[in-house]
Structure 1
Amino acid sequence: MSSHRKPSIALLAAPETSASVLYGLYDVLLSVGAVYPDMVNGVPGDELLDVRIVSADGKPFHCIGNIPVEPHAAIHDVSTLDAIVVCDMYTSIYDVPKGRYPREVEWLERMHASGALITSVCSGALLLAESGILDGHAATAHWAYRDMFQRHFPKITFRNASVLCLAAESDRIVTAGGVSAWHDLTVYLIARFCGYRTAIETAKVFLISGHSEGQSPYSVMTRPMECTDRSISECQLWIADNYSTVKPVEKMIERSGLKSRTFSRRFRAATGFTPIEYVQALRIEEAKQMLETDQLSSGDVGSAVGYDDPASFRRIFKRGTGLSPAAYRKKFQRISQIAKGN
């Protein structure tokens, strides 16, 4: 890369893209090198990055919220880039978008082969998955797509707790989690192409602090994409109302009439969880809601969801959310206070 050429970054967007992601990325990346000197010394600096919005055909369109987008170029007109950011392209957790973006997927394959860094935000990772460049690698996207990735892209290790997954960085692939994870990806891109000092300065301008705790505190247990196994489905319905019972897995096995190993195998095939993981996830979800709104002690919350040993509850809760019960309560009750204007 010539020292006289600005690093070039393309933001790939579509009608299913969130305006907040697309324009947030564009605003911050375009300001790199220019805004910080202006705010500190009153003299604008030079823009350090060449940032362009691209789409399949380059024609104006409206993204989510009916927000107008005027791409700078069509993808077939762009052949040399340092990096590509595939913006989020919303799809239901039940609607696998294979075959929806054939031109974009082919372009990503070609650009990756030519040496470009390929990155994604949230559901944008689904395009990387379809292209095959993620096969054999770990990646992340919004936590709600965990089941979709596990079922339809089994060659990819899905890291639902990660906000920014750098596991495939050496192969020029970086994926970011939920939509606001574009903050973390942006800081990474600035540091990579302009240096850490510039990344820190830009983060100061836009008050970007990142998501150091990962996605786990925000994740919610989602329903499996499908469950055609009637025995397992009936056990799911029962445990939803009886998660705090003693020896819940044994009781589900009894209700199913299956042998233990058969039940475990069929349960995992139907839900993506082992039976005990499923019970623990249900209990944690209920505990999270109680911690967000109630004033019970963490020990009482643990007891209410089926853990009489406070130490066990704290350990399992932290493993599932990345935070202790006390830290989780502090984080989300603070959000509640902000919402109420306190």
Structure 2
Amino acid sequence: MQKKPLIMLLAAPETSASVLYGLYDVLLSVGAVYLDMVAGTPGKELLDVRIVSADGRPFRCIGNIPVEPHAAIDDLVEPDAVIVCDMYTSIYDVPKGRYPREAGWLRQMHGDGALITSVCSGSLLLAEAGLLNGHEATAHWAYRDMFQRHYPEISLHSESVLCLAAEGDHIVTAGGVSAWHDLAVYLIARFCGYRHAIETAKVFLISGHSEGQSPYSVMTRPMESADGSISDCQAWIADNYATTKPVEKMVERSGLNTRTFSRRFRAATGFSPIEFVQAIRVEEAKQILETDALSIEEVGAAVGYEDPASFRRVFKRNVGQSPAAYRKKFQRISQIARPIGAQ
């Protein structure tokens, strides 16, 4: 009898129950549930799925949800794949040295040929283990600044939902929390074939995130800086983003020459001055598009763009969608969320 592929879900108290149990349910169903739903006869489960933790003892994850691992990380035979579930950390709290045992185990499993994958903030553990050095990867968009500052040897693509660039080195990373859907479909296709991936997607109504993370991304960089002149300009532009010639006015306000201002601004924020202005304008435009009925031209003018074409171009470059497509996507959510009886 052929051995089932073994997939281990690595979890910790910082893991989301939705990621852990969602992955467990979907992966465990492969080969069994679809046949039961369409023919009334369950098939055979095709994957061996186990929840593991550092010590194997029961714990409670985010939301005080109980987790009873099947084993400790050192108790089972070598897996075919490991999924590092999300392990939430603040965008200001770099998890250096927090998971030494798990990091060492991941290095060992990778060296033994296992496919190492992650969901959302789980990529931080892969980064801590050194497995992403020199590779392209993705993680939740909120961690892009952390990766840039603390893991510069990693090329983070925060706009991606599923990054396969390091697949040849047995590493695959998934972006935001719900990107576990995309990772699950990928793993099913890899270990069980595309037909089972499609059938499982039909059972669970999984459609993937073809638009990437960019439409969901929000500007998260701190507005304060240790550089007083730059911090003052950041605060000023946050209230005056629609002004004409914003960079010239910030340079004048700082009392610095243009080249020095640009250098110090990038050092403090990670943005060039015009990129920072554009990012703030786009964030304001997104909020207007999500709820208001202004025309696209009016939205552009409200955030400082007299030329509608320029507004559309900057918006699409930053968000990955046109203003009209973004409005359609998020106003649909606002309509669903509207209280019963509201007009």
Q: Please classify the TM superposition score into its range, dividing by the shorter chain length.
A: over 0.9
What is the CA–CA distance in structure 1 between the aligned matches of 2:41 and 2:254, rounded to whole Å? 72
Structure 2 match to 1:261: 259
Q: Does 1:132 align with 2:130?
A: yes
The aligned amino acid for 1:58 is: G
C-alpha distance in 1 between matches for 2:145 and 2:32: 42
User: Equivalent residue for 2:226?
Assistant: 228
1:187 pairs with one of 176, 179, 185: 185
Residue in 2 that maps onto 1:93? 91
Alignment of 1:175-254 (within 5 A): 175-224=173-222, 227-254=225-252
- CA distance in 2 between counterparts of 1:241 and 1:316 reads 20
What residue in structure 2 maps to residue 273 of structure 1? 271
CA-based RMSD: 1.2
Which moves more between the two structures, 223-232 or 43-52?
223-232
Question: Structure 1 residues 254-263 or 192-201, which shifts more?
Answer: 254-263
CA–CA separation in structure 1 for the residues paired with 2:329 and 2:149: 33
Letter in 2 for 1:292: E
Question: What one-letter code is carried by the residue in structure 1 that aligns with 2:203?
Answer: V
Offset at 1:6?
Answer: 0.7
Cα shift at 1:277 = 0.9
Question: Which whole-Å CA distance do the structure 2 matches of 1:153 and 1:224 have between them?
Answer: 18
Q: Give 1:246 shift.
A: 1.0
Q: Distance in 2 between matches of 1:53 and 1:160?
A: 27
Contact 2:223 2:234 in 1 (8 A): no
Map of 1:1-342 to 2, 5 A cutoff? 4-224=2-222, 227-340=225-338
TM-score if structure 2 supplies the norm length?
0.97
List 4+ stretches of structure 1 deviating above 4 A. Answer: none
Distance 2:80 2:263 in 1: 45
1:259 Cα offset (Å): 2.1
How far apart, CA to CA, are the structure 1 residues paired with 2:64 and 2:125?
Answer: 23
Which letter does structure 1 place at the counterpart of 2:45? E
Q: How much does 1:18 deviate?
A: 0.3
Larger deviation, residues 298-307 vs 267-276: 267-276
Distance 1:322 1:40, change over 3 A: same
Count of paired positions: 340
In the alignment, residue 165 of structure 1 is paired with which amino acid?
C
The aligned amino acid for 2:114 is: A
Distance in 1 between residues matched to 2:271 and 2:113, nearest whole Å: 38
State the Cα distance separating 1:223 from its structure 2 match. Answer: 2.9
Structure 1 residue 122 displacement after superposition = 0.5
Deviation at 1:79, TM superposition (A): 4.2
Structure 2 portions without partners, runs of 5+: none
With normalisation by structure 1, the TM-score equals: 0.97
**Maintained 8 Å contact 1:244/1:306:** yes
Between the aligned partners of 1:185 and 1:176, the Cα distance in structure 2 is 6
Check the 8 A contact 1:147/1:224 in 2, yes or no: no
Name the CA distance, whole Å, in 2 between partners of 1:323 and 1:120.
26
How many Å separate the matches in 2 of 1:22 and 1:226?
A: 36
CA displacement at 1:341 relative to structure 2: 5.9
- State how far apart, in whole Å, the 1-side matches of 2:224 and 2:44 are: 53
User: What do residues 279-307 of structure 1 show as CA deviations (whole Å, max 9, x unaligned)?
Assistant: 11100000000000110000110011011
Task: Tell whether the 8 Å contact from 2:224 to 2:234 is kept in structure 1 after alignment.
Answer: no
Query: By how many angstroms is 1:113 displaced?
Result: 0.7
Asked if structure 2 preserves the Cα contact closer than 8 Å seen for 1:148 and 1:225, the reply is: no
Cα deviation, 1:49-74, whole Å, max 9, x if unaligned, reads 01000000000000000000000010
Matched AA of 1:149: F
